[in-house]
């Protein structure tokens, strides 16, 4: 049996009911961590996490509600005395060019993606400061590294997460706390399908797929693999980074010459 490389660690994961957050919770539990999940919604498959980590707990909360997050953090510390890993995967999406985007939609996306990341880090950092160790893993996006058509509030929120993460790495590094941002390409999760599903989007989905130089979309487990690395001691000297886990999406433009060169 493989070594459980996160044995003895406590991981706090937001957005843990679905997609990338759930994949991280599952991977961390399989690697021996106690996992505390949070989400707006109940996690239908949380029993799968508890199979590997019987002490795993789940809190239904809104990451925009600082009091609720602080309470979940306090309960976690009461039960387990520490938090070693934080993953902020709670997120939402909206699109549209600036002149059409309702102001409420701008605010909603900024609140969940950027302010929610800030509030969760704010609740967990005092615990990590006290223990003088910790790994914070935020979820940015390739759309936080470069622009995309109609991205507006989503791209702005993810660009904010990228820089917030660098600043956390700068401010808390001397206390043994690392902070890194994973910037996924397009990953097949409920969020992706809610945004990009639908027959009318089929040709756009195909163009999006083609921008990934591996020629396919990603799976949540492939992001969880990167999160596991950043959470583990193998990443002990890695901090302040934005790690694109994107199948080559951000390497450059794809025009299709690979087929011409016999490389498809």
Ligand X SMILES: NC(=O)c1ccc[n+]([C@@H]2O[C@H](COP(=O)([O-])OP(=O)(O)OC[C@H]3O[C@@H](n4cnc5c(N)ncnc54)[C@H](O)[C@@H]3O)[C@@H](O)[C@H]2O)c1
Q: Which residue numbers are catalytic?
A: 154
Residues 245 and 231: their CA atoms lie apart, in Å, by 15
* 165 contacts ligand X (rule: CB under 6 A): no
* 186 contacts ligand X (rule: CB under 6 A): yes
* 15 contacts ligand X (rule: CB under 6 A): yes
Sheet of strand 85-88, all strands in order from the earlier edge strand to the far edge: 57-60, 34-39, 10-14, 85-88, 134-139, 177-184, 242-245
* 41 contacts ligand X (rule: CB under 6 A): yes
Site string for ligand X, 208-227 (x = CB under 6 A): --------------------
Residues 186 and 211: their CA atoms lie apart, in Å, by 10
* 160 contacts ligand X (rule: CB under 6 A): no
Counting residues that bind ligand X (by CB under 6 A) gives 29
* 119 contacts ligand X (rule: CB under 6 A): no
- Angle made by CA atoms 142, 158, 103, in degrees to the nearest 5: 130
Nearer to ligand X among residue 35 and residue 63 (C-beta): 63
Using CB under 6 A, which of 190, 197, 198, 215 touches ligand X? 190
As measured in angstroms, the least distance from the Cβ of 262 to ligand X is: 31
Which of these segments, 48-56, 111-119, 129-137, 232-240, binds ligand X (CB under 6 A)?
111-119
Nearer to ligand X among residue 33 and residue 137 (C-beta): 137
As measured in angstroms, the least distance from the Cβ of 164 to ligand X is: 13
Which of these segments, 3-11, 95-103, 112-120, 167-175, binds ligand X (CB under 6 A)?
112-120
Query: Within 52-91, which residues bind ligand X (CB under 6 A)?
Result: 62-64, 89-91
As measured in angstroms, the least distance from the Cβ of 178 to ligand X is: 20
**Contact assessment for residue 137 and residue 88, using Cβ atoms and an 8 Å cutoff:** yes
* 44 contacts ligand X (rule: CB under 6 A): no
**Contact assessment for residue 37 and residue 47, using Cβ atoms and an 8 Å cutoff:** no
* 152 contacts ligand X (rule: CB under 6 A): no
As measured in angstroms, the least distance from the Cβ of 90 to ligand X is: 4
* 189 contacts ligand X (rule: CB under 6 A): yes
Q: Which residues bind ligand X (CB under 6 A)?
A: 14-15, 17-21, 39-41, 62-64, 89-92, 112-113, 116, 139, 141, 184, 186-187, 189-192
């Amino acid at each position: 049996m493989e070594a459980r490389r996160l044995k003895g660690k406590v991981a706090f994961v937001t957005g843990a009911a679905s997609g990338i957050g759930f994949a991280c919770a599952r991977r961390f539990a399989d690697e021996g961590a106690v996992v505390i999940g949070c989400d707006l919604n109940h996690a239908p498959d949380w029993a799968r996490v508890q199979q590997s980590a019987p002490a795993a707990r789940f809190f239904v909360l809104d990451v925009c509600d600082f009091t609720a997050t602080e309470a979940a953090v306090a309960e976690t510390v009461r039960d387990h005395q520490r938090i070693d890993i934080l993953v902020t995967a709670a997120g939402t999406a909206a699109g549209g060019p600036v002149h059409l985007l309702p102001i409420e939609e701008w605010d909603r996306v900024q609140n969940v993606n950027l302010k929610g990341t800030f509030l969760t880090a704010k609740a967990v950092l005092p615990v990590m400061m006290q223990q003088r160790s910790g790994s914070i893993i935020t979820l940015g996006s390739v759309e936080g590294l470069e622009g995309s058509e109609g991205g507006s509030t989503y791209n702005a929120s993810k660009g904010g997460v990228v820089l917030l993460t660098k600043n956390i790495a700068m401010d808390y590094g001397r206390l043994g706390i690392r902070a890194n941002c994973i910037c996924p390409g397009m990953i097949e999760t409920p969020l992706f399908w809610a945004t990009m599903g639908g027959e009318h989007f089929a040709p756009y989905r195909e163009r999006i797929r083609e921008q990934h130089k591996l020629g396919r979309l990603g799976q949540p487990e492939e992001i969880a693999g990167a999160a596991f690395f950043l959470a583990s001691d193998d990443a002990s000297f890695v901090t302040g980074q934005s790690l694109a886990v994107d199948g080559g999406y951000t390497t450059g433009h794809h025009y299709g010459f690979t087929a011409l060169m016999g490389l498809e």
